[in-house]
Amino acid sequence: AQKITQTQPGMFVQEKEAVTLDCTYDTSDPSYGLFWYKQPSSGEMIFLIYQGSYDQQNATEGRYSLNFQKARKSANLVISASQLGDSAMYFCAMREGGGRGSTLGRLYFGRGTQLTVWP
């Protein structure tokens, strides 16, 4: 089974509007971390936001917030006030085991969502 599922191959949003990118995950480990990365056409993966499985509140980083629904195993990324520079591929990823302080370095990635912001 896929560890991370991103069901939206592509999304379109108008500038200044909010957009939600979906991510569901599958793990039996009670301790895990969820990440979102942005990959522009240049190829570099840019870290956006992190949510730990034991975190009580949804993570926020500037215009990015993570809608964490543990029972549903979903970790959707919300981008508020989209900008043209937000156009990129967005990846959801998960790391199992240990949460913060884990020594395991493996990330499982979804297939990504290509976001296009139009003026």
Partner 1 sequence: KAGVTQTPRYLIKTRGQQVTLSCSPISGHRSVSWYQQTPGQGLQFLFEYFSETQRNKGNFPGRFSGRQFSNSRSEMNVSTLELGDSALYLCASSLSAKTDTQYFGPGTRLTVL
- DSSP conformation class of 80: -
What is the per-residue burial (b if ≥16 Cβ within 10 Å, else e) of 45-67? eeebbbbebebeeebeeeebbbb
CB atoms within 10 A of CB 14: 10
111 near partner 1, judged by CB under 8 A: yes
φ/ψ bin of 42: left (φ > 0), alpha (ψ from -120 to 50), beta (otherwise) = alpha
Q: In the complex with partner 1, which residue's Cβ is closer, 16 or 100?
A: 100
56 near partner 1, judged by CB under 8 A: no
d(CA 57, CA 36) in angstroms, rounded, equals 16
78 near partner 1, judged by CB under 8 A: no
Instruction: At 116, list the tokens.
Output: 């296009």
Q: In the complex with partner 1, which residue's Cβ is closer, 71 or 104?
A: 104
46 near partner 1, judged by CB under 8 A: yes
Only segment of 8-16, 38-46, 66-74, 77-85 that touches partner 1 (CB under 8 A): 38-46
Q: In the complex with partner 1, which residue's Cβ is closer, 43 or 119?
A: 43
Cβ of residue 75: shortest distance to partner 1, in angstroms? 14
What is the contact surface with partner 1 in residues (CB under 8 A)? 33, 35, 37, 42-47, 50, 52, 91, 93, 95, 99-112
